[in-house]
Amino acid sequence: MATGNKPRAAKVGRLGKLLARLPSSCPLLYPLYLAAQLDTVEDVYPSPLLPKAFDGWRIAFVTDVHYGVLLGADRVRALADRVNAWQADLVLLGGDYGEDAQTTLEFWRMRPGFQARVCAAGTVGNHDRTPPETLLGQIADAMRADGVHPLINDAMVLKKDGASLALASVDDVFNGQPDLEKTARLCQDADFTVFFPHNPDILPKTYEMPGGPFFQLALCGHTHGGQVALLGHSLRSSSDYGDRYRSGWYRENGVDILVSNGVGTSALPVRFGARPQVHLITLKRA
């Protein structure tokens, strides 16, 4: 699946735009209908490593919105309303807000207004990291203006009752310049770290780091659950690891991983066997 140095972001072609105009509410057009749905997936995540101070904290995890011709401003506002109604402690945004860097900038300048009780933070995905490179700074500024901390090769450490919880993410592994060493250093004193890179393909690189992975829980997107999947297999995977990280929970090298199907679609507004998802995860010390 590697494409040399070319930025990886599927273009929305004429067929995609045409399909986006068809009535997605018609069940006969099932793949179009499914792409317009959105499931809330609730999980309780138990960990003996979680400090007691963060027991019961709730994380809203939203990724791969893909705002643009296939998913408009009305659905972005409905998404923010749904997430904000949860009043989660943390809102983490996994990237691919638009179809390319320009639509991602438009997404943030629209001020979707994701709100968290404690902190909202976001990273970037391959679609956010298309040329020109100069848009990255503008995207980060627009995120800040909307109350979301951009974490791109960066981390923030939250403290409560003498315990610490780090939130961390990196630049996109396909189109950006991820700096795992720097990000890991920023988390080294935290009692528990939630790492939310856009693409799970970066995870095996963390297993090779001195001391192993620097996080306990990873939340990722990118794969869209295959977007079109038959019997649990992607028709065409966007991961270099095929279906290793297609969808759902995994455990590797002592860390827990959730890969979301994401909200939107890429290239064509169709889904099959991979329902759109947003997540509400309750952290549990167990």
Applying CB under 5 A, what is the total number of residues that bind Fe ion? 2
- Of 6-14, 30-38, 63-71, 129-137, which segment contacts Fe ion by CB under 5 A? 63-71
Binding of residue 100 to Fe ion (CB under 5 A):
no
The only residue of 65, 88, 96, 214 in contact with Fe ion, by rule CB under 5 A: 96
Smaller CB distance to Fe ion: residue 51 or 125?
A: 125
Least Å from the CB of residue 121 to Fe ion: 18
Q: Which one of the spans 47-55, 58-66, 153-161, 202-210 is the region binding Fe ion (CB under 5 A)? A: 58-66
Other C-beta atoms closer than 10 Å to the C-beta of 205 total: 14
User: DSSP states of 177-206 as a string?
Assistant: ---HHHHHHHHTT-SEEEE--S-GGGHHHH
Closest separation in Å from C-beta 64 to Fe ion: 4
Smallest gap, in angstroms, from Cβ of residue 238 to Fe ion?
A: 7
Minimum distance from residue 100 beta carbon to Fe ion (Å): 12
Task: Enumerate residues 6+ apart whose C-beta is below 8 A from 124.
Answer: 95, 104, 136, 139, 150, 152, 171, 172, 176, 198
> Could you say which DSSP state residue 26 is in?
-
Q: Which stretch binds Fe ion (CB under 5 A): 93-101, 108-116, 138-146, 151-159?
A: 93-101
Shortest approach of Fe ion to residue 222 CB, angstroms? 6
82 SS3 class: helix
Helix (H, G, I), strand (E, B) or coil at 262: coil
β 255-259/248-252 pair status: antiparallel
Q: Which stretch binds Fe ion (CB under 5 A): 3-11, 57-65, 108-116, 188-196?
A: 57-65
Give the number of other Cβ atoms within 10 Å of residue 22's Cβ.
12
Binding site for Fe ion (CB under 5 A): 64, 96
